[in-house]
Structure 1
């Protein structure tokens, strides 16, 4: 090799070392940048110059022509990326569920500084006091007052649960907007990355960092699968359906009319909705059943990865309607598929069932009592029951879905449609608890006491233990507390898993200042060595030219 050619060898060393120094400086400058991935220069040898080939020799006689700068690559682990995005989604799922149960505990145990259990206990005490002197206007008034307090606080608790349900519903819209935004941004980054890398001269590493960060955030909202093609495009599946393609994003839309009974938002794939033209020639959506984002009747299981994503957790916690005791039926399959997995609807149904049972039992006893004033006036016996419907039309509760097993129409008191009988509220002594012959109606009072202590009621079809009115609420609160502890334990364990995966990933993608300083010294020495090499070759050329010239 000529001396002139040796200058190119030195020049390749200078150029490669300078590129490596620039990459190291870039790493150091972004050591605290969120989502930044450590970059690394890949070096290789240029083609060797072969001087002589002797096959009997160990190696051919060759001369190196310098170092080659191949590319600047990101240092990442695809396995850890996938694990991190899956586990963060699972952690988000249980975190949302745990917080929902915490909110329910607050609603059940505290109302304006006073526990609901106190109003239930006060009603029981009023029944006991009535037994001491049934015909006393004082005890009769106390009973009506406590019953009114009981129903008022029950409505407050139920309204609080509904309010939180509506808050969860409002977050669904925000989450769907975020998911669509991440999808749009990933598609935009795909285009930018392909444009830059199509020349095969450089890697769009900073754009890839942003795209990876979008995938990390998207993984919190639901189960994602993704794949990068040879051109640098990343295609994404969200919950098993195509989300981001090479040139398009399938947006998620929200329905509040077709599949929802009370205006709660139902996410669906916009492209899969059924559309028809109306009389005005306008295209309208007629059904979204073929494009629903989730099948919320599926059992929640880590094995089948159905417990991933905070959007699904919010939808499950919220449910699709305001549940009542009608949802707790003898059809266990209906309850398990549609109610039990929603913490809000489950508690609403169980709580409403308790209030319904109390009101129904008291009304039945008063309606059949010998002291019912209607026996003397000839009025309907239900005229003087303690609880009445606030709106007669509300007594007909229609189905919430085709699969509801209880028939087309259901009747009965719920928290929302009940109130204290205005007749008794105006004059509590109207129901005198005195029979036609003038004696105290102790039998009716005894029945009221027995109604509170009789253990006839279960929380739901999956529970076998029976409760009385006085123990039902405590069992309900205990169930919420136990479920909350379970979710908190799962959430804590999942948080540790996410932390372990994150730390493992950070060891690979993270920038270490000590390591980068070592690289900087190494590349600086390599640069200096190349510079010294060029100086030596230059001196040799100068000496050779000077000698020949003389």
Structure 2
């Protein structure tokens, strides 16, 4: 055994403890870095002396030769990561759903002093007042103006809901671009990792960057990951490249494999059509990583959950029919349109049977008409978006048919009957009245909103619990790092002291020992 062996052993101790101190400093520096996983030096004893083989000395046992830094590994639990991404996916869905419903509630604004119900209530009251004083020009003007207020309320709801739906379509486009960017970034990180690992290194910071992207991606739709080794001299703890896929209808579709990434595109892109309506999404087209033909996925194959699925459900997807759409906003717009159409048709039917003030005694006129029609136009094309009071009546309120017969200026029976429309059961609304139908719509929206908020709270709580569990494993604890710093510092000092001791021994042997008798 070499006399200088103690120096080499202590030198290894110095270098290894120094590496541990540097790693501790790296952890402390990144204590507040988002997505950073704490790292540790995997110390391992070097081979004992003497080694194995036929030329080995016959002395019993082995003498240790010190320590070395085997690898610098990040602390991460893949199972906890998987749980986190599952909960993050659920939260992405319900957060998006809550946001969409909240915006809809802001538009409908019920119950309030400024919503549709208030406008309708004032309209019915003005008709009752007109029934008492049918010849009064002021009462007639009030009916016309409050009728226009009802039409304006319908117009506002339709326009606002359509604008939000359009914005949702734009958000889907932006989200799709973002998803494609994430997939490309993951493939690029795979490329970098595959270049580093075969040389025996662990690119821990690249692993963290890739996991942060996977976390973000999981919010859009559910993903599955699988690691593939890089080969070469890669360490056993190396994580390799990751293959990312998602399940649709029970089948896995690969999105990232090695250095290749797929691209997603909604089909069609949710843009406003020629008729100024938002085009429903019929599906998703995926350009696979294998270079094969694109995979068109129909509306029945849309994603199972996640933010992207929630936005598509809110915006509207094709129902397989003749250009129809189903979803949160298309359904609500349809209900509001049905309500406006049923209301206007019933009101116009009764109004056409009445008579205006003499001497014209005009009759057969629709009170409500579409924006592009006037006078005696039919109400077949009426929607919440184009309903208004007939310009012919707006120009002269004497044409308002408050009387049931001509030449009876004081006859307000038809005005009374118009006011009673609020109590009529309408076949086109499944036998509901205008008021009860709208209350049902608002009630269902409230229930859906409460459900979305409750599920958001629950999934956020579950995600928080998993996130805390992951933080307890991977996050940097300054107290723990300070303890480690003291531990490694003392070990470093002890190795340095050992070198001093060996140096003194060697000095004694070399300089303090002479030949006997001289």
Task: Please give the range of the TM-score, normalised by the shorter of the 2 chains.
Answer: 0.7 to 0.9
For 1:139 and 1:250, locate their aligned partners in 2 and report how far apart those are by CA, in whole Å: 67
For the structure 1 residues 129 and 516, does the alpha-carbon distance in structure 2 shift closer, same or farther, using more than 3 Å as the test? same
Give the root-mean-square deviation of aligned CA atoms.
3.5
User: 1:448-474 CA deviation, whole Å, 9 max, x = no partner?
Assistant: 344211345797x8xxxx642233333
C-alpha displacement at 1:334, in angstroms? 7.9
Pairing 1:450-469 to 2, within 5 Å after superposition: 450-456=420-426, 467-469=432-434
Residue aligning to 1:42: 42
Pairing 1:194-209 to 2, within 5 Å after superposition: 194-200=194-200, 202-209=201-208
C-alpha displacement at 1:126, in angstroms? 2.2
- 2:305 is aligned, of 299, 304, 307, to 307
For 1:258 and 1:27, locate their aligned partners in 2 and report how far apart those are by CA, in whole Å: 46
For the structure 1 residues 372 and 131, does the alpha-carbon distance in structure 2 shift closer, same or farther, using more than 3 Å as the test? closer
- 2:489 is aligned, of 507, 515, 524, to 524
For 1:354 and 1:117, locate their aligned partners in 2 and report how far apart those are by CA, in whole Å: 12
Instruction: Please give the secondary structure, in 2, of the residue aligned with 1:235.
Output: strand
- 1:364 is aligned, of 340, 346, 349, to 349
Residue aligning to 1:291: 296
Moved more, 43-52 or 512-521: 43-52
C-alpha displacement at 1:265, in angstroms? 8.2
For the structure 1 residues 507 and 318, does the alpha-carbon distance in structure 2 shift closer, same or farther, using more than 3 Å as the test? same
Pairing 1:411-450 to 2, within 5 Å after superposition: 412-434=381-403, 438=407, 444-445=414-415, 447-450=417-420
C-alpha displacement at 1:199, in angstroms? 0.6
Residue aligning to 2:214: 215
Residue aligning to 2:236: none
Pairing 1:225-236 to 2, within 5 Å after superposition: 225-231=224-230, 232-236=240-244
Q: Retained in 2: the 8 A contact 1:294–1:312? A: no
Q: What is the TM-score of this pair, normalised by structure 2? A: 0.82
Structure 2 unaligned runs (5+)? 54-59, 231-239, 374-378
User: 1:286-316 CA deviation, whole Å, 9 max, x = no partner?
Assistant: xx8x524864778xxxxxxx332x2222221
Instruction: Please give the secondary structure, in 2, of the residue aligned with 1:241.
Output: strand
For the structure 1 residues 117 and 6, does the alpha-carbon distance in structure 2 shift closer, same or farther, using more than 3 Å as the test? same
For 2:121 and 2:475, locate their aligned partners in 1 and report how far apart those are by CA, in whole Å: 59
1:27 corresponds to 2:39: no
For 1:49 and 1:431, locate their aligned partners in 2 and report how far apart those are by CA, in whole Å: 111
- 2:478 is aligned, of 494, 506, 513, to 513
C-alpha displacement at 1:133, in angstroms? 4.0
Q: Retained in 2: the 8 A contact 1:319–1:345? A: yes
Q: Retained in 1: the 8 A contact 2:355–2:402? A: yes
Pairing 1:310-389 to 2, within 5 Å after superposition: 310-320=307-317, 338-339=325-326, 342-367=327-352, 369=353, 371=355, 384-389=365-370
Q: Retained in 2: the 8 A contact 1:362–1:448? A: yes
For the structure 1 residues 259 and 154, does the alpha-carbon distance in structure 2 shift closer, same or farther, using more than 3 Å as the test? closer
For 2:321 and 2:261, locate their aligned partners in 1 and report how far apart those are by CA, in whole Å: 36
C-alpha displacement at 1:107, in angstroms? 0.9
Q: Retained in 1: the 8 A contact 2:263–2:286? A: yes
For 2:151 and 2:301, locate their aligned partners in 1 and report how far apart those are by CA, in whole Å: 33
Structure 1 unaligned runs (5+)? 54-59, 273-284, 299-305, 322-326, 328-332, 393-409
For 2:51 and 2:208, locate their aligned partners in 1 and report how far apart those are by CA, in whole Å: 46
Moved more, 233-242 or 154-163: 233-242
For 2:476 and 2:4, locate their aligned partners in 1 and report how far apart those are by CA, in whole Å: 40
User: 1:41-76 CA deviation, whole Å, 9 max, x = no partner?
Assistant: 1111222335999xxxxxx72222222321010101
Instruction: Please give the secondary structure, in 2, of the residue aligned with 1:198.
Output: helix
C-alpha displacement at 1:478, in angstroms? 2.8
User: 1:116-169 CA deviation, whole Å, 9 max, x = no partner?
Assistant: 322111221122223324455444443332222211221012111111112222
C-alpha displacement at 1:38, in angstroms? 0.1
For the structure 1 residues 92 and 468, does the alpha-carbon distance in structure 2 shift closer, same or farther, using more than 3 Å as the test? same
For the structure 1 residues 164 and 533, does the alpha-carbon distance in structure 2 shift closer, same or farther, using more than 3 Å as the test? same
For the structure 1 residues 260 and 292, does the alpha-carbon distance in structure 2 shift closer, same or farther, using more than 3 Å as the test? farther
For the structure 1 residues 243 and 32, does the alpha-carbon distance in structure 2 shift closer, same or farther, using more than 3 Å as the test? same
For the structure 1 residues 425 and 481, does the alpha-carbon distance in structure 2 shift closer, same or farther, using more than 3 Å as the test? same
